[in-house]
Amino acid sequence: MAFLATLYILECDDGSRKLKMKIGVAQINSTVGDLEGNLQIASSAYAKLVSEGSELVIFPELALCGYPPRDLLLKKSFGDDCSLSLESFARETGPFPALIGFPEKRTSDEGRPFHNSVALCRQGKIQQVFRKRLLPTYDVFDEDRYFAPGRLPMCFTHLGKKIGVTICEDLWFRGGLHGEDPLDEICRERPDLLVNLSASPWHLGKMKTRLALLRSVASRTQAQLAYVNLVGGNDELIFDGSSIFLNQQGLVVQKLVSFAETTLVFDLDEDSSLKTIVETDDYESVHKALMLGLGDYARKSGFKKAIIGLSGGIDSAVTATLAVQALGKENVIGISLPSAISSEHSKDDALALARNLGIEFHTLPIEKIVNSADSLLAPLFQGLPPDVTEENVQARARGLLLMALSNKFGALLLTTGNKSELAVGYCTLYGDMCGGLAVLSDLPKSQVFALAKHLNRSSEVIPQNTILKPPSAELRPNQMDSDSLPDYDLLDAILHEYVENGASIRELIGSGFEESTVRRIVELVDRNEYKRKQAAPGLKITPLAFGIGRRMPIVQKYSN
């Protein structure tokens, strides 16, 4: 249909080139490894977008296999099955082309098994392939493990216009992290439109970083820019979508919704100087991100129901509220597991929360189990003072009961610990750490409070007392978190510097934190690596989460 092209070439008054082309954006939610399901989603999205007038349809990076496929790429049949899936997709395409991400099996038996590629599909065929050049290996990424960098041309012509194709990291030269900058070649090619297919996980602050980068890319290449990002939760990672168009001046002219699957037809000829306001990240983003991550983890792994131990504290209250919003109140079960030590307000607050949420609620007092265990252990423990052992027995009795309910009812147990606790090991392995998904494990305690207030912004869902009372694990009489830990604002400030920024003890002390506090916190973080090794996967919402993006040795003796 190249004859259409001449009709569409326009010149603007200001001399800058203006494109007339309708771009269809398929911001889809792929499931990792679900080749059949993803193919159906992609084919439907293509058909819909073309029927709505799209002349070019763009999907995210690796849309056909989901991101990140990780070691599925090392399975012998995966490459061929992905190729078949791509061919099926291509057969659905008509005169208007689609750009779709797929893992391209390399023909050579040598080296990495794949390229991270994009196929240009049109008229039933794969017409051209583009290969990712910059392969990230920082944070959660392992692309050099699977992919060889591309060397193919980066442009194609459609409707008389030159279109450059890049894949995610290709735009992120990051000041020399990679040996070459693909944008140098893009600039030489002078494309009219630059497309980027991404699978870019979200974290707080990502939108700002991403926008700054995209603006500079658009300005530098003097091309309109279409950034198409994956949406959905896959294990720890939450992809926000937030696909976006920028004009040659780097102004945002359109943005798709964040944290939801959607499609959009965008006419590049529309006033390309229109400024679209892009909201900055805040607790509403955190809220949406966690709902999406939780909902997708359950849905994609086949769980309809979730179960949560309700302590009356803020972490379990926030987790339960998110679960209700993601899965529906009829699919969430709250369990109160009081001990002899539990305060009345804990039981009351748990009940009040369950009533506010309208969820199924049961109470299982753990006293008998704890007493059985204690009396069984008494002869062996004779003469030894009570210590953390007895506290852990309580937490593990709760874990045992919650897992029994999870097993019997086929409900996903959600673990409720926050990032601060997980950092310093203020949690019991096989106790309150039990669960299939850690919803808040990347949210520092001080931010859990902020999120709780946000969830309560229109009406009180989380009981006010839960938010106001001082945090306590209630594992010994009158225990308070503040007995063992500094104030959470101080703790979180130290943890942010130590865990996320890699600051040394020297630097922490130098920046004004009290030395003994710093040394105590650092020692706790280091010593508890073994707990995190066995933690449930947690939803990543900061630049550095515990999990696949933080790879610390467990047994190690560096402390600085």
Show contacts with a second copy in window 36-55 (CB under 8 A): 37
Query: In whole angstroms, how far apart are CA 383 and each of 370, 379, 386, 492?
Result: 19, 9, 9, 38
Contacts with a second copy in 233-272 (CB under 8 A)? Answer: 234-235
Nearest distance from C-beta of residue 57 to a second copy, angstroms:
24
Contact pick of 137, 216, 276, 484 for a second copy (by CB under 8 A): 137
Report if residue 66 touches a second copy, rule: CB under 8 A.
yes
Interface residue with a second copy, options 56, 306, 369, 451 (CB under 8 A)? 369
Smallest separation (angstroms) from a second copy to the CB of 37: 7
Nearest to a second copy of 296, 492 (CB atom): 296
Instruction: Report, in Å, the least distance between residue 89 CB and a second copy.
Output: 17
Query: Is 55 one of the catalytic residues?
Result: no
Q: How far is the CB of 393 from a second copy (least distance, A)?
A: 5
Q: Considering beta carbons, is residue 2 or 404 the nearer one to a second copy? A: 404
Residue 33 contacts a second copy per CB under 8 A: yes
> Which residue number, 490 or 548, has a Cβ lying nearer to a second copy?
548
Closest to a second copy by CB, 94 or 365: 365
435-to-219, 325, 404 alpha-carbon distances in Å = 47, 19, 11
First to last CA, the chain: 64
Chain-centre distance for alpha carbon 181: 27
Instruction: Retrieve residue 202's tokens.
Output: 């979200």
- Looking at 82, 121, 155, 168, which residue is catalytic? 168
Residue 360 near residue 306, CB atoms below 8 Å? no
Among 3, 11, 188, 557, binds a second copy (CB under 8 A): 557
User: Residue 240 carries which DSSP code?
Assistant: E
Catalytic pick among 22, 132, 288, 419: 132
CB closer to a second copy out of 407 and 464: 407
Chain centroid to CA 467: 26
- Binding to a second copy (CB under 8 A) within 168-187 occurs at 174-178
Distance CA 2, CA 537 (A): 49
C-beta of 386: minimal distance to a second copy in Å? 10
Structure tokens at 207: 């939108």
Residues 395-434 that bind a second copy (CB under 8 A): 396-397, 399-401, 403-405, 407-408, 429-430, 434
Site pattern 536..555 for a second copy (x: CB under 8 A)? xx----------x-xxxxxx
Decide: 244 and 252 in contact? Cβ < 8 Å.
yes
In this structure, are residues 66 and 235 in contact, taking their beta carbons and an 8 Å threshold?
Answer: no
What part of residues 193-232 is at the interface with a second copy (CB under 8 A)? none
Instruction: Please tell me the distance from the alpha carbon of residue 309 to that of residue 350, in angstroms, as a whole number.
Output: 9
- Buried b / exposed e over 101-118, threshold 16 CB at 10 Å, is bbbbbbeeeeebbbbbbb
Nearer to a second copy, 284 or 374 (CB): 374
Q: How far is the CB of 432 from a second copy (least distance, A)?
A: 11
User: HSE-up of 422 (CA within 13 Å, CB side)?
Assistant: 28
CB of 348 to a second copy, least distance (A): 21
**151 belongs to the binding site for a second copy (CB under 8 A):** no
Could you tell me the smallest distance in angstroms from the CB atom of residue 231 to a second copy? Answer: 16
Give 164 or 293: the residue with its C-beta nearer to a second copy.
293
Which residue, among 153, 69, 162, 76, has the nearest Cα to 116 in the 3D structure? Answer: 69
**Which of positions 97-136 make contact with a second copy (CB under 8 A)?**
108-112
The whole-angstrom separation of Cα 560 and Cα 522 is 8
Smallest distance from a second copy to CB 397, Å: 7
Q: Which stretch binds a second copy (CB under 8 A): 164-172, 183-191, 375-383, 444-452?
A: 375-383
The pairing of strands 252-255 and 244-246 is: antiparallel
Residue placing its CB nearer to a second copy in the complex, 130 or 361: 361
Figure out which of the listed residues 189, 328, 507, 524 binds a second copy, where binding follows CB under 8 A: 507
Cα separation, 258 vs 254, in Å, equals: 12
Q: Which of 14, 151, 188, 375 binds a second copy (CB under 8 A)?
A: 375
Closer to a second copy by Cβ: residue 6 or 108: 108
Binder among 52, 144, 487, 523 for a second copy (CB under 8 A) = 144
Question: CA 489, 494, 495 angle in degrees (round to 5)?
Answer: 95
Contact call for residues 509 and 515 (beta carbons, < 8 A): yes
Considering 55, 61, 236, 391, which one is annotated as catalytic?
61
Residue type, 94: G
The beta-carbon contacts of 1-8 under 8 Å, at least 24 apart in sequence, are 1/95, 1/96, 1/159, 2/159, 2/160, 4/55, 4/159, 4/160, 5/158, 5/159, 5/160, 5/161, 6/160, 8/159, 8/160, 8/161, 8/269
Which member of 127, 249, 504, 517 binds a second copy (CB under 8 A)? 504
Instruction: Please compute, for residue 471, the number of CA atoms within 13 A of its CA located in the half-sphere on the CB side.
Output: 22
- Report 274-333 residues binding a second copy (CB under 8 A): 297, 300-301
Partners of 158 in the β-ladder: 161
453 is catalytic: no
Residues in the chain: 560
In the complex with a second copy, the residue whose CB is nearer, 78 or 130, is: 78
Q: What separation in angstroms does the CA of 252 have from each of 255, 256, 275, 277, 440?
A: 7, 11, 6, 8, 32
**8 Å CB contact between 385 and 276:** no
Tell me how far, at minimum, the Cβ of 219 lies from a second copy, in Å: 22
**Residues known to be catalytic:** 61, 132, 168
